[in-house]
Structure 1
Amino acid sequence: MLEPQRRSSPGLGPQGDSAFVDPERSGSTPIAYAPGDLIGGKYQLQRVLGQGGMGAVWVARNLSLDADVALKLIRRDRATEEAAARLLTEARAAAKLGHPGIVRVFDFGQTEVGDPYLVMELLTGESLSAILARKKRLDPGVALQTLLPVAAALAAAHLKGIVHRDLKPDNVMLTTDESGKIVPKLLDFGIARVLRNDVERHVTIAGEVLGSPDYMSPEQARGEANIDHRTDVWTYSVLLYETITGRRPFDAPNYNALIAAIVANTPMPTHAFGTGDAALWAIIERGLAKERGARWQSLRDMGVALAGWALERGNQQDISGLSLQSEWLAPKMRRLLTVQPADVAGFAAARAAALATAPPVAPPPVTPSAPALALPGVARDANDAAEWKNQRGGSNRKVMFAVGVVVVLVAAFFLVRALLPDPATPPGVPAAQTEAQPAPLPAPTPTPTPSSTSVATDVPQARPTTTATAKTTPTPVRTTQTQKKAPPVPKNIQF
């Protein structure tokens, strides 16, 4: 089981608390903000969690709610219109998604000097890249338990028309909630594309590659414009391949050679590295198909196949404790509490429209024994309503009459019973003489002599007399027997 160890910064990798400057990307530009600065009038900066090429992520205190949040700030020298648009894209994309596997976004705005910032939930955990750096690779069963929740989060984003396009180990955080449960979280929708019917919006930064080169899909490597959700299927397959084998499916010494390998080369099977089997490789291989039409057409379909493979090998739950059977393979049950009630007003309007357009027809005769059926909540005409009221009133009167007759009969029965004499008591005999005679008591036995055995001899005794004025209750004589002593309790037994 993977245990999260440290707090990390959403969207900027696993630098942690100790390293907040990336020398390869940040250059010598100093941080423009300091602890104690107030952002947006209510977020007070506490400390830097991490810094990358675009900006820094701070731990900030929301003074209004007295709660800590993660606040992402764009670097002062990179705070261009394109950077602000990219951060706004991330905020809007994450705000549209209410999935527990996607980091929550609380706020978006600009500082007093015009720098854009993004406020997110503060995560406690460890990134998948830090875990792979420490463990090199994971068992295939553990890898699927860890990454199936990520597939569910991506599938939820695709249903909202959002494509991540930058899935990598740095953007998967294994967080710990208040109950101690590990929940994988998907981060950084900064280059996400929001697919809409009228327009496709995407933002790129001049001079930067769209997405991480090692995880690019062939259509991204070729520079195609119509990127859809199937590019996330490819990237997810690369991520799963790396988590299982400890290496990426495509590798090259430079950028151009890497792009050529992604477009043309065939990766080695996962079981060639001594992990997994041919069935698991067949699922991943389909996700790495060069042509989008040959891949899994949705991450939901790929997740179902992966969950079936895991269940066949004895893995019943994912890393969050959710059942793989119920989450992926069981048919979705209809939620009874979400069923809408019948539209009574719609029924009435439909009936009124039908009556207005239909030719006049003589109504059929209505018999008292079979009242005409009507839709619930729809008013009947005057004749039907009056007849139904009369029938219902007559039925109520009959029921009340029957109940009254039953009550009168019961009362008469108890009255007659109270007036009649008790047949069990003969007239003229005192009640005291009719009492039951006491049962004969056992005869007393003589006290055993030393030579006698444990069985006493019964001695008959006369039955005591009972008068009507006084009663004597003789004391019962118990038969004495020799009692056997219980064996002593062993000293080694404690009660």
Structure 2
Amino acid sequence: MGSYQEVTPTSEKTYAMNPIMGPFIEPGTILLGKFRVVEVLGAGGMGSVYRVDHLLMETQFALKCMNKFQEANASWRRFQNEAKAAYMLDHPNLLKVFELGLLDSGQPFFLMELVEGKTLADEIKAVTHLPIERAVHIFIQVAFAIGYAHERKIIHRDLKPSNIMLVPPKSENEVEGIKVVDFGIAKLTGVDDFNQQTLTRTGEVFGSPFYMSPEQCAGLPVDHRSDLYSLGCVFYEALTSAPPFMGDTALSTMMKHQSDRQLSLKEASLGVSYPAALEAIISKLLEKDPDNRYQSANQLASDLMQLERAINEHKQQISGQGPISVSLAPENELKAAATRFLKEMTWFRFAAFGFSMYLLGAISLYGALFAASKQGVKTAIVEQPPVEPQINETGKQYWSEIEADREHPKQTKKTFYFPDNRVVGLLIAANGSTGLARGRVSAPQTMKSGFVAGDFTTPECIEKFRPEEISVFDFNAETVDSTHFNALKRFTDLRALNVSGTAFGDKDLPILQTFKKLQYLNLSHTDVDCANLLKLPCVYTLNGLDISHTNGADILVKNVYRFPKLHEITLSVNAFRDADIIGLARSKSLKVIDLSTNTISDQGVASLLPLKTLEWLDLGRTVVTPKVVESLKKFPNLKRVELGIREWPQNVQDKFVKELKKSKPKIEVYFYDTFTHDPASLPGFHWLGPGFHGHANTKRLIPPPPTGSVTELRGAPSNTSP
């Protein structure tokens, strides 16, 4: 489905109008005698977007119309503005508008190209943060698109992740593309009959606070350089998973844009190294003074292209030391700055044979806003002014103290006193809120908390948490060892443990027996042999298990019937063939299965038909064909299927979805990759935060196997038995 959704997450809300939802147009309705409505693609307060068949041209378009009749209000002016701005633009990375007009009902509409894909916001949510090479490629295209609009005196003014669509390649020879959408609050400079004053006179505030430039936040006149600042915020989020500035209110976020200095990419990602060139590019985009930023999007595109070439060529020795100039920097300087990155990212070689491993993990938000309770009270993990840590009455120093909540006198809050001069990790919460573990950080006392450990996290740091206050622990680090793992024994309420990509091995398995409440375990990309894992009684009560790219995973699959409470299993990158997954069919409890990046065929899927509980199946990067639809139709409770990026022609994909929906009208079909995890798989533990993604450790990855060989991968089926 094309991503034309106007309803954005709270973090990306555009402050422009008071939405009034209108009626939808029913599928099957014929409009103007030539458009047949197929489905709703997205809806918001101002308008709705529909997939329509053009009956005369026999092709599909996206049709956007206002939910109400034409009115002389902000909604109508914004709608006109988007239509005018988009109609003036004709660029491969901008959504094309073909026709404007009024429906018979009097509702204004415009007809635009139908783009199949998803938004950058959805992708960031799915993978946490983008690999550097992919992010650079995406933002080269965004820079060209915005530069084209700027040359035609059009400023977007609302750039954010949900306004950038990712278009998957349609063939092996194509690359991922983008489309910049939603010019609803664009400024058409120099257009007399539609100038900025007509939209600001009523006192409306436009833009999304997390991505607004300092001058935009201050209500000052803006020019094209404001878009470049917003683009820097989006780029920053794509790389680190969070915007550079986040306050507990829209106003405080705007104030941070005007006064605070953003963390470097390395600081924001808990020590992940980035090319010096990329750090400098981001810093230049986020300059407070427009005169110190890039002066054109084309300058930005030029620097990013040089960086991309340096990444692709990677001919020099590892260095990456020292600052560089990013104002049309010489190519040799950019190459030198990128060389260290290139060696660290050798895992890109896996893409050549279909293994896309992302360095997923730490989300570093600078004080995240979230809705904390069913009563709708807004609260947050918020950094506070630095205060020295407290010593409790036992003489044992903990990070946290329970304190009165001044904003809510009847409530208490937990305040963590971390070191002021360094980041020791990332504090995470059940509803997705996160905060850097540095200085004074407050969180609701009743909210389940977790921690993401980085390379800066020592065992002593772990031991300063109270035994009952950590429910999720995620090691997003390459240097941890058994001393770190042993420090976890203190946690009495640990529900989820993620040691993906670490040196966790068979010698560390006994630690798991300590965690009486453990529901989720991620052992992907570790040295564990699953045959030894089966010897632990505690694993048979797990609800979720990730054993991607591990030894002996096939042995565990044969014994999966012994896991009566296992609802979710991830088996990616295990060199599995059809015969290796037959044991899954004996399970009476599995609801979510990830078989991606394995040699699974239509016959393998058919062997799983005895599974009556299956709700979600990930078949990305497998060898299934469109004929697999016949098996998928027979799973009684299947609600979602992922097929990844396929080389199937578009008409074949459409036919596949149509055929599947005949028997399962509400099923969701994805021709791209998402994070295959259902929070509902963990009964009694409601966790929407991060901490479950797998991590690829760049220091521990093996080289790719010879061409045509997959059996030499670590993680090939084991010949041992428990």
TM-score interval, smaller chain: 0.5 to 0.7
Matches within 5 A, 1:42-441: 42-76=34-68, 80-176=72-168, 179=171, 181=174, 182-196=176-190, 201-202=195-196, 204=199, 209-224=205-220, 226-272=221-267, 273=269, 274-314=272-312
Going from structure 1 to structure 2, the CA distance change for 1:105 and 1:278 (only over 3 Å counts) comes to same
Displacement of 1:53 after TM fit?
2.2
- Would you say the 8 A contact 1:36–1:44 is kept in 2? yes
Distance in structure 1 (CA, Å) of the matches to 2:60 and 2:69 = 27
Displacement of 1:62 after TM fit?
1.4
- Would you say the 8 A contact 1:250–1:267 is kept in 2? yes
TM-score, normalising length: structure 2: 0.39
Distance in structure 2 (CA, Å) of the matches to 1:298 and 1:99 = 17
Going from structure 1 to structure 2, the CA distance change for 1:261 and 1:47 (only over 3 Å counts) comes to same
- What one-letter code is carried by the residue in structure 2 that aligns with 1:219? E
Q: Which has the larger share of strand? A: 2
TM-score, normalising length: structure 1: 0.56
Going from structure 1 to structure 2, the CA distance change for 1:91 and 1:295 (only over 3 Å counts) comes to same
Displacement of 1:197 after TM fit?
7.4
Distance in structure 2 (CA, Å) of the matches to 1:147 and 1:123 = 18
Partner of 1:33: 25
- Would you say the 8 A contact 1:42–1:63 is kept in 2? yes
Structure showing greater Rg: 1
- What one-letter code is carried by the residue in structure 2 that aligns with 1:228? D
Going from structure 1 to structure 2, the CA distance change for 1:11 and 1:297 (only over 3 Å counts) comes to farther
Secondary structure at 2:145 match in 1: helix
- Would you say the 8 A contact 1:62–1:69 is kept in 2? yes
Q: Which structure is higher in RCO with an 8 Å CA cutoff and minimum separation 6?
A: 1
Distance in structure 2 (CA, Å) of the matches to 1:174 and 1:13 = 18
After superposition, what is the alpha-carbon deviation per residue over 1:15-62, rounded to whole angstroms, capped at 9, x for unaligned? 9xxxxxxxxx99894524222333334222221111122221111121
Q: Which runs of 5+ in 2 are unaligned?
A: 10-16, 315-328, 332-722
After superposition, what is the alpha-carbon deviation per residue over 1:463-482, rounded to whole angstroms, capped at 9, x for unaligned? xxxxxxxxxxxxxxxxxxxx
Distance in structure 2 (CA, Å) of the matches to 1:169 and 1:222 = 22
- What one-letter code is carried by the residue in structure 1 that aligns with 2:89? L
Going from structure 1 to structure 2, the CA distance change for 1:166 and 1:80 (only over 3 Å counts) comes to same
- What one-letter code is carried by the residue in structure 1 that aligns with 2:110? L
- What one-letter code is carried by the residue in structure 1 that aligns with 2:223? D
Displacement of 1:306 after TM fit?
2.0
Q: Which runs of 5+ in 1 are unaligned?
A: 1-6, 16-24, 317-327, 331-495
Going from structure 1 to structure 2, the CA distance change for 1:175 and 1:299 (only over 3 Å counts) comes to same
Partner of 1:397: none
Going from structure 1 to structure 2, the CA distance change for 1:41 and 1:86 (only over 3 Å counts) comes to farther
Distance in structure 1 (CA, Å) of the matches to 2:209 and 2:259 = 15
Distance in structure 1 (CA, Å) of the matches to 2:20 and 2:192 = 43
Distance in structure 1 (CA, Å) of the matches to 2:156 and 2:134 = 24
- Would you say the 8 A contact 2:158–2:208 is kept in 1? yes
Displacement of 1:125 after TM fit?
1.1
Secondary structure at 2:65 match in 1: strand
Q: CA RMSD in A?
A: 2.8
Secondary structure at 1:76 match in 2: coil
After superposition, what is the alpha-carbon deviation per residue over 1:344-379, rounded to whole angstroms, capped at 9, x for unaligned? xxxxxxxxxxxxxxxxxxxxxxxxxxxxxxxxxxxx
Secondary structure at 1:165 match in 2: coil
Distance in structure 1 (CA, Å) of the matches to 2:236 and 2:71 = 36
Going from structure 1 to structure 2, the CA distance change for 1:95 and 1:11 (only over 3 Å counts) comes to farther
Displacement of 1:209 after TM fit?
3.2
After superposition, what is the alpha-carbon deviation per residue over 1:374-399, rounded to whole angstroms, capped at 9, x for unaligned? xxxxxxxxxxxxxxxxxxxxxxxxxx
- Would you say the 8 A contact 1:140–1:275 is kept in 2? no
Going from structure 1 to structure 2, the CA distance change for 1:177 and 1:152 (only over 3 Å counts) comes to same
- What one-letter code is carried by the residue in structure 2 that aligns with 1:161? K
Partner of 2:638: none
Distance in structure 1 (CA, Å) of the matches to 2:36 and 2:60 = 9
Going from structure 1 to structure 2, the CA distance change for 1:197 and 1:30 (only over 3 Å counts) comes to closer
Displacement of 1:80 after TM fit?
4.6
- What one-letter code is carried by the residue in structure 1 that aligns with 2:23? I
Secondary structure at 2:134 match in 1: helix
Distance in structure 2 (CA, Å) of the matches to 1:176 and 1:87 = 28
Distance in structure 1 (CA, Å) of the matches to 2:66 and 2:206 = 18
Displacement of 1:207 after TM fit?
7.5
- What one-letter code is carried by the residue in structure 2 that aligns with 1:10? Y
Displacement of 1:198 after TM fit?
5.8
After superposition, what is the alpha-carbon deviation per residue over 1:422-473, rounded to whole angstroms, capped at 9, x for unaligned? xxxxxxxxxxxxxxxxxxxxxxxxxxxxxxxxxxxxxxxxxxxxxxxxxxxx
- What one-letter code is carried by the residue in structure 2 that aligns with 1:46? V
Distance in structure 2 (CA, Å) of the matches to 1:161 and 1:28 = 31
Going from structure 1 to structure 2, the CA distance change for 1:52 and 1:102 (only over 3 Å counts) comes to same
Secondary structure at 2:4 match in 1: coil
Displacement of 1:13 after TM fit?
6.1
Secondary structure at 1:108 match in 2: strand
Distance in structure 1 (CA, Å) of the matches to 2:245 and 2:279 = 15
Percent of pairs identical after alignment?
31
Q: Which has the larger share of helix? A: 1
Secondary structure at 1:56 match in 2: strand
Distance in structure 2 (CA, Å) of the matches to 1:234 and 1:113 = 41
- Would you say the 8 A contact 2:3–2:118 is kept in 1? no
Number of aligned positions between the proteins: 303
Distance in structure 2 (CA, Å) of the matches to 1:137 and 1:214 = 17
